[in-house]
Amino acid sequence: MATTSNHISSSSCTPCWDVFLSFYGKDTRENFTAHLYSALVRAGILTFRDDPELDKGEEISRGLLNAIHGSQLLIVVLSQNYASSRWCLDELVEILTCKRTSGNVVIPVFYYIDPSHLRYLKGGFKDALDVHKTRYSVDVIEKWKSALAEIAELSGYHLKTDATEYVSFPLFVVLLI
């Protein structure tokens, strides 16, 4: 189900993960998220990252929900195409629900995007939701819009195209866990 250093089932304990990573695979799986995941695992942090071979149905899977709820820290890597995936948007809604109801810490990573694009639905985020409007109800779209606006308000890491700084997640995450 998940790729971890210890291969623990997400339904066997609560919490079972130190960190849950949410990301759009085509944008960051082979670069930023892969490096972040490796650094976290090397630091001894039990990290859930979805496996690209998982079945991607119309609804978020029970296993993924369990992993979100069973994680102490939730890192959301928001990239240009994140909102094009219903799967990612449903994860985001669930992640923010955990933040509100259970007090989980959520850290957004704005991966070469401006948080205001989420807040005000600009650029690729507006385009993605416009496409979703043809397939999903107004209620679902509003839920996703609210989640995007909410995550844009959180303090996190903002990677810019001209950024030269090194983002040191593992030390920060170790301090939180």
What is the DSSP annotation of the chain? -B--SS---TTSSSS-EEEEEEE-HHHHTTTHHHHHHHHHHHTT--EE-B-TTS---SS--HHHHHHHHTEEEEEEEE-TTGGG-HHHHHHHHHHHHHHHHH--EEEEEEESS-HHHHHTT-HHHHHHHHHHTTTS-HHHHHHHHHHHHHHHTS--EEE-TT--PPP-HHHHHHHH-
The sheet with strand 105-111 has its strands ordered as: 47-48, 17-23, 71-78, 105-111, 157-159
Per the CB < 8 A criterion, the answer to whether 72 and 105 are in contact is yes
Give me the catalytic one of 53, 58, 91, 153.
91
**58 in catalytic set:** no
Which positions are catalytic?
91
